[in-house]
Structure 1
Amino acid sequence: MADKKKILIADDFQLLREDLTELINNQRDMEVVGTASSGKEIVNLARNTEYDLILMDIEMETMNAGILATQEIREADPEAGIIFLTAHETREMIVTAMGAGALDYIVKGCEDEEILYHIRCALKGNPIMSNKIHETVMQEYARLQQSEKSLLFFINNISKLTATEREMIKLLLQGYKVHEIAEARSVEVSTIKTQIKG
């Protein structure tokens, strides 16, 4: 039989660490080779332990300790495989976590078989995400694409403005009133209004 895959676990809840360790160690194809209760500990453990995958909680000693640890681990080893196993289901947390470079995102409370399935898929190089997580990531991707299009549209239109028009927009964005801009430029208010409308 092939060597067992080596798993690290990072979670500040001792009972969960113990349960996950027991679950994984009862499998024929994987074993836990280390556990940590904080982001700092898992970073050190990852540096000094041979492993194939990390199961990482997000909220440990701080609200985003797991995300920061993931970024640090992946900075040292861009190929590091990390799955978030967390209680957080908010859109912001999912997007931030996946942006840190995680392979997958599992919400705590799921069945043991689901956790094992996610681990095995990630170990085979085919990480999966639940429908909800996948949908959230895809919605964020679509939102970012739309923002990019809006930004390009804005930049394109700004580039067509004259230097005077760009200066007026800058002053308006800084909170100057139309009559103040007219005074500063020694022109009529109607001239400024015409330039703004144009």
Structure 2
Amino acid sequence: MKETIRVIVAEDLDVLREHFCDLIRQEEDMEVIGEASSGKQLLQLLTGLSASSVPMPDIILMDIEMDMKHDGIVTAQQVLARDPEIKIIFLTVHEDDETVFNAFETGAVDYVLKTSSGEEIINSIRTAYAGIAQIRPEVANKIKNEFSRIRRNEESLLQATLILAQLTPTELEIVELLLKDMKTSEIARHRQVELSTIKSQINVILKKFNKKRSKEVTALLRDLNIQPLIRKVRGG
């Protein structure tokens, strides 16, 4: 006997929720066992199923944003903490990197755009149920780009750390003051030295970092979140 895939649809817009439910009901190997319009309602539905000893869903087709932004993200974490066997497919209108990464970080197995064809949505459900790991081309590209970004950051961090190790205590202090957005004149007053001295020291720092402006140095260090390392080196 062919197994039936048990699906819950969680979507706050009634017309879309009914659309997805209708798609699923047309498939002989699928059934909709519940609907929810919010993360809270979904959790209540799952609690009710569990208490009545009714089999839990195989798949939850869930909107990322319901009554609150990222409601689906938070709810997915709670659902999978209760029952990691449930497979979650996110529905979204967004395709930005942050949304995609946040979705997969919950443990969800897939995400589909709400504008996807019915065939694509149904295939996503079947693939998830079969336990087949599927990475869409657009997701693969995002992951590839993220790894490239991480690799670039690692290389930049190593290079910046080596440069910081070569700075004198005075230069490190000046860098830290620049990171506090102090102007050259303010640094001179703070250190009680001539303005020309600070300008000369900043020029040396720029040459070591191979930068033309102090803002480029501070932007790099902030991007790499390297301020704690500077404080540690300086004994702060």
Same fold (TM over 0.5): yes
Distance 1:58 1:187 in 2: 56
Contact 1:5 1:52 in 2 (8 A): yes
Residue by residue over 1:37-63, the C-alpha shift from the partner in whole angstroms, topping out at 9 and shown as x without a partner, is 112212333445412221111222123
Distance 2:111 2:58 in 1: 17
| Correspondence 1:73 to 2:79 | yes
Q: Report the AA paired with residue 181 of structure 1.
A: I
Q: How much does 1:7 deviate?
A: 1.5
Distance 2:40 2:165 in 1: 47
Q: How much does 1:36 deviate?
A: 0.5
Q: How much does 1:106 deviate?
A: 0.7
| Correspondence 1:38 to 2:38 | yes
Q: Report the AA paired with residue 140 of structure 2.
A: H
Structure 2: any 5+ residue segments left out of the alignment? 50-55, 205-236
Contact 1:23 1:112 in 2 (8 A): yes
Aligned residues: 198
Identify if the C-alpha distance between structure 1 residues 100 and 158 changes in structure 2 by more than 3 Å, giving closer, same or farther: farther
Q: How much does 1:115 deviate?
A: 1.2
Equivalent position to 1:96, from 102, 107, 110? 102
Q: Report the AA paired with residue 126 of structure 2.
A: R
Structure 1: any 5+ residue segments left out of the alignment? none
Moved over 6 A (4+): none
| Correspondence 1:163 to 2:169 | yes
Distance 2:168 2:84 in 1: 46
Distance 1:80 1:148 in 2: 36
1:109 aligns with 115
> TM-score, normalization: structure 2?
0.70
Q: Secondary structure at the match of 1:182?
A: helix
Q: Report the AA paired with residue 74 of structure 1.
A: L
Identity rate of aligned residues, in percent? Answer: 41
